[in-house]
Chain A
């Protein structure tokens, strides 16, 4: 590798300047804002205060944070259970592999809002599922499914399932088949081979999938917004409202910092348990 500091920094400078001004400095700003005093109506008085963090840990917001973690963690686990066998099949589908992968990419690239809207049509009181169940005589009155935690979980799972499938798929696909043959030759049955060879070797993919599903699921606000009409809240909703509606930038900043810390902890855990080679599974 060549040592040419001037040229290297010259080539890096456009990106660095952009990231510093529009990413690092702004995140620094909300960190500062989270420790300032609220003057009301969005006013910021630059006097040190822990008020925002105290509010964050008041019972109402703790409940919101708790709900966000429970719902997003629950949805992530469901995604994992749904995704693993699915990814396993696709990775072993031979000539159909690329075709099936294309079919996963379509929902992956379709805008989340569009996909959530599709579920509103289904889950509505006058929606497709209720209409169908009533026609079949299974129920006589529509079941309320929108505006419930059920709708949130459906929205999260539907929204983020492809995020779980892709890294698991690529770790299964990259699996060195000779290990499987060795296990078989040594007399392990398929179940044992799966549990002792396949699963541990594809663990980095599972962990990567877990993080890139959990992080956006934890911070998303459109799922609760559209599926429950903001009746149920997640951290993202509170941050949005603090900045846009309530004009309490201190509270919004404090919650953002907290969210960021939660995310960084989970990424750190990921990096601890995986080699550097697997780092790019996160993408």
Chain B
């Protein structure tokens, strides 16, 4: 790049980052504003945080979000990893069609998945609640885990497995001693992706959770719809800070250049 191009582009990059971060910074700043309405700064307060942590609804929603995300991650990681191994190692009839099946949740809009599940539950006459949120979350995250683990397997050196077998290890031994340690970063990356997708998921949860079982995103949505209150700023600030910490910690540990892990 020529120095002049580089200079213009660097200014441009700073402007885009300002576009990203100024709204978030203002949102955070107003979580400490004394005034309940408007954008006039009337003084510093942490009242909104205090009322947030005594708000039963928010604590329940946070608990629900975590619970769903943990269970989703466990199921999706096991199913997705097994599927990736099957795709990588074996040839079997219908492989192409099944490969296509795993791409469905990646490309189909989440609102279609959401209303389709709602139709299923309506037909089965199931009462909506936390347990009806889980199937949708798992269905969309299985594919992501599968694709991430598959990418890791594709980059694997097959000779290592062959060497293990030549040295007398059986299938099972080869898997646990050689393959699994090699692909475990991929599995971890897949699990992490499943966890964050589930934690952040709004549309499917909104349709399949019923009125009593809120998760954090659904609660944020209803709070924003009801009207601007500094309590949402406080809640949002905490959520953004959690993201910043997570991204920094995970980004340091993993090579983030490729999200395949």
Write the residues of chain A forming the contact surface with B, with a CB cutoff of 8 angstroms: 1-5, 7-9, 11-12, 14-16, 18-19, 21-27, 29-30, 33, 42, 82, 85-86, 88-90, 92, 97-98, 100-107, 109-122, 124, 126-128, 131, 158, 161, 166, 170, 173, 190, 211, 215-216, 218-222, 225-226, 236, 239-240, 243-244, 249, 252-253, 256, 259-260, 263-264, 267, 280, 282-283
CB <8 Å contact, A218 and B115: no
Residue on A nearest B202 in the bound complex, by CB: A113
Evaluate whether A106 and B244 lie within 8 angstroms (CB atoms) in the complex, with A2-B90, A8-B90 already known: yes
> CA–CA, A105 to B17, complex, Å?
12
Of all chain B residues, the one with the shortest Cβ separation from A191 is B5
Chain B positions within 8 Å of A, measured between CB atoms, are: 1-2, 5-6, 9-10, 12-13, 16-17, 19-21, 23-24, 26-27, 30, 37-40, 75, 78-80, 82-83, 85-87, 89-93, 98, 101-102, 104-113, 115-120, 122-123, 135-136, 138-139, 142, 144, 146-147, 151, 196, 200, 202-203, 207, 216-217, 220-221, 224-225, 228, 232-233, 236, 239-240, 243-244, 246-248, 251, 256-260
Shortest Cβ distance from residue A221 to the other chain B in the assembled complex, whole angstroms: 7
Contact A22 B217 (CB under 8 A): no
Known contacts A82-B16, A103-B21; can you find 14 more A-B pairs with CB under 8 A?
A16-B98, A22-B138, A86-B12, A89-B10, A97-B257, A110-B239, A110-B243, A111-B216, A121-B233, A170-B257, A222-B221, A239-B115, A256-B111, A256-B112
CB–CB B39/A15 < 8 A: no
Chain B residues, CB < 8 A from A249: 119, 122
- Distance, CA A118 to CA B93, complexed state (A): 51
Question: Smallest CB–CB gap between A122 and chain B, Å?
Answer: 6
User: 28 A–B contact pairs at CB < 8 A?
Assistant: A1-B90, A2-B90, A3-B92, A11-B83, A15-B80, A15-B142, A19-B104, A22-B120, A27-B108, A85-B12, A89-B10, A92-B6, A97-B257, A98-B257, A101-B256, A105-B256, A111-B200, A115-B24, A117-B27, A118-B236, A121-B228, A126-B39, A190-B1, A211-B107, A225-B225, A226-B225, A243-B118, A283-B147
Across-interface contacts of A92 in B (CB, < 8 A)? 1, 6
Do residues A263 and B109 form an inter-chain contact, with CB atoms below 8 A?
A: yes
B232: A residues at CB distance < 8 A? 117
In angstroms, Cα B255 to Cα A97, docked, is 12
Distance in Å from the Cβ of A44 to the closest Cβ of chain B? 9
Measured between alpha carbons, how far is A261 from B9 in the docked complex, in Å?
A: 39
Let me know if A114 and B82 touch, CB within 8 A. Answer: no
Q: How many A-B residue pairs have CB under 8 A?
A: 267
Tell me the minimal C-beta distance from A115 to chain B in angstroms: 7
Inter-subunit contact B243/A106 (CB<8 Å): yes
Cβ contact within 8 Å between B239 and A111? yes
B251's partner among A7, A102, A218, A267 (CB-CB below 8 A) is: A102
Interchain CB contact under 8 A, A283 and B144: yes
Q: Quick check: B98 and A114 within 8 Å, CB to CB? A: no
Q: What's the minimum C-beta distance from A13 to chain B, rounded to whole angstroms?
A: 9
Closest to A86 in B: B16
CB-CB under 8 A from B108, the residues of chain A are 27, 260, 263
Of all chain B residues, the one with the shortest Cβ separation from A31 is B116
B255, closest chain A residue (CB) = A98
CA distance A173 to B86 in the complex (A): 31
Instruction: Please state if B106 and A283 are interface contacts (CB–CB under 8 Å).
Output: yes
- For B40, what are the chain A residues with a Cβ–Cβ distance below 8 Å? 131
The reply to whether A30 and B239 form a contact with Cβ atoms under 8 Å apart is: no
Given contacts A82-B16, A226-B224, A106 and B239 within 8 Å (CB-CB): no
Whole-angstrom distance from the CB of A28 to the nearest CB of chain B? 8
